Structures are given as structure tokens and as C-alpha cells.
Amino acid sequence: MKRILLTGVAGNLGKIVRVKLAGWADVMRLSDLNEITDASATEEVQCCDLGDREAVMKLVEGCDGIIHLGGISTENTFDSILNGNIVGTYNLYEAARKHGVKRILFASSNHTIGFHERETQLDADSTMRPDSLYGVSKCYGEMLASLYYDKFGIETARVRIGSCFEKPLDRRMLATWLSADDFVSLIKRIFECDRLGCPVIYAASANAEQWWDNSKVSYIGWQPKDSSEKFAQQEYLQKRAVNANDPAVRYQGGGFASAGHFED
């Protein structure tokens, strides 16, 4: 890669990717709403609001690929989600089309399918069942990526990220946990494979508890190496759920499925 754009660089995932992909591209262009003051010699800084179409058009110019982690990353008000995740994603794809960018990683979410029950194993063709306004915005982003692939040939990996933390924070994350190293190895495969298409990829490590099947995207060649099993005996994960029908337990979206409407 000559120049790759990384949006959302100040967020949890953005910080991980920035560090672990240092030197992978000739130049990494960093973007976020927040100011970035510690750029290295191989980094460019171009902060902007994703809802600002002209700013996003300048942001994408000259880039070979995009790792799009920017926007609102949790449930929020509709207006906040609208600007960052819906208008912002549209602006990014329009800029990619006009500047000839042909490959994008779109950070989608497991919350696009959060209202499926835990015992239902999902694959790339499973029906979307969002558990939140945030989840709806990621469904929109996935469908926008599909349109821009079919109409304009822009390849996108629609990556439904599980729970990318240093360790699982609760029992649910024993299934959804994604290690930083596995995420970065997935990013590399997405940009290094000869042909990508527009696949849905579930981003979880090789955990013992599996809700998601990536067999339909095995042509990419990604094999996660880590597993949440090394945390399974931690005391904080031992307490079993009291009520198996609690929406936070029943559904794959966990607390997103059980939470009230954000606007209330």
C-alpha cells in the first residue's frame, strides 16, 4: 500500500490499528474529529467531520485504500448516528468513487444481527436483525457498500466486529471476543488478497464458543490464531446467568438487545 486512510484513529480500534500497522503502508493518513498531534514521519493528519462532504472529499484524495473505523461506535441519539454513521458513510463512499479508491474495509458490527438468538449459528447470508439504532446504521453501511460494489466496482469487506478488547469483559464475550492481533491479520488479508468482492466477514477469534460461520469467505485466507479460552477460568466470568430468557442473555447483541430506546 502506498497511502491508506485510517478513520476513527482516536477510538479504541483506531489506536490499535495505528500502532500495529505502523510501517505497513508507505504513508498512513490519520483522521478523526479529535486533534492528533503525534504523527510520525510516515503519517499524515487530516482531521474532519465525516458529515462534511467537502472535507471528506479532500480526506480521501490520493489514497489507495480505506480502513473505515470512524463514526459513532455505540448506541446514541438518532441525530448523532445520522451524521457520523449514515451521512458520513455516504460521503466516504462518494469520495472513494470520485477519487478511484477500489478497496475499503468497512467496520460493521455484530449489532447488525444482534436480535438473533445465541443458539442460531449465523453466516454471511443470515438475515440482518439489528438490536439498536447503531445496529441499523451499520446495516445501512453494509447495503451502501453492496450498492457501490455492484454499480461502481468498489470492493468492500463488511467486517462485523465482535468485541475487540484486551480480554473478554463478560461471559458473552467468550464467543464474540476478537484479539488485536487477529483483527490486524484480517486487515492485512483484506488488502493483500487478489480479489475481495464485497463479503460479510465475522470478526471474532478462534474461540471455543462459536456463533458465526465464516466458511463462505474462506477464499480470503484469514485464519484467526487466538482464543478467549485462555480467559474462561477467570473468576469474573464464572457466574452463570440467572435468567436464560433475559434479552441480554437470549440474544447475540447482549446488552444492546435488552437496553431501552436511547431517545426515551
Q: Structural domain boundaries of the chain?
A: 3-258
263: pLDDT strictly greater than 90: no
Note the CATH architecture for domain 3-258. 3-Layer(aba) Sandwich (3.40)
Amino acid symbol at 98:
K
Q: Is the dihedral of CA 219, 224, 229, 231 positive or negative?
A: negative
Residue from 134, 148, 202, 251 carrying the catalytic annotation: 134
Rounded mean pLDDT, 221-243 = 94
238 and 174 Cβ atoms separated by less than 8 Å: no
Q: Which residues pair with 3 in a beta bridge?
A: 27
pLDDT tens, residue by residue, 31-43: 999 888 898 999 9
Amino acid symbol at 40:
S
Prediction pTM value: 0.96
**Percentage of the chain modeled with pLDDT above 90:** 94
pLDDT value for 35? 86
pLDDT value for 50? 96
For residue 134, indicate whether it is catalytic: yes
Rounded mean pLDDT, 66-88 = 95
pLDDT tens, residue by residue, 233-261: 999 998 889 899 999 999 999 999 999 88
pLDDT band with cut points at 50, 70 and 90 for residue 262? confident
pLDDT tens, residue by residue, 90-130: 999 999 999 999 999 999 999 999 999 999 999 999 999 99
Cell numbers 426515551 label which residue? Answer: 264
pLDDT value for 261? 85
Cα–Cα separations (whole angstroms), residue 133 to 11, 137, 171, 176, 256: 20, 6, 24, 20, 10
Cβ count near 123 (within 10 Å): 13
pLDDT value for 264? 61
pLDDT value for 174? 97
Average pLDDT, the chain: 96
Burial (CB count within 10 angstroms: exposed 0-12, middle 13-18, buried 19+), residue 37: exposed
Cell digits of residue 134: 447503531
Q: Supply φ then ψ for residue 15, to 5 degrees.
A: -65, -40
List the beta strands (DSSP E) in the chain: 3-7, 27-31, 43-45, 65-68, 103-109, 155-161, 200-203
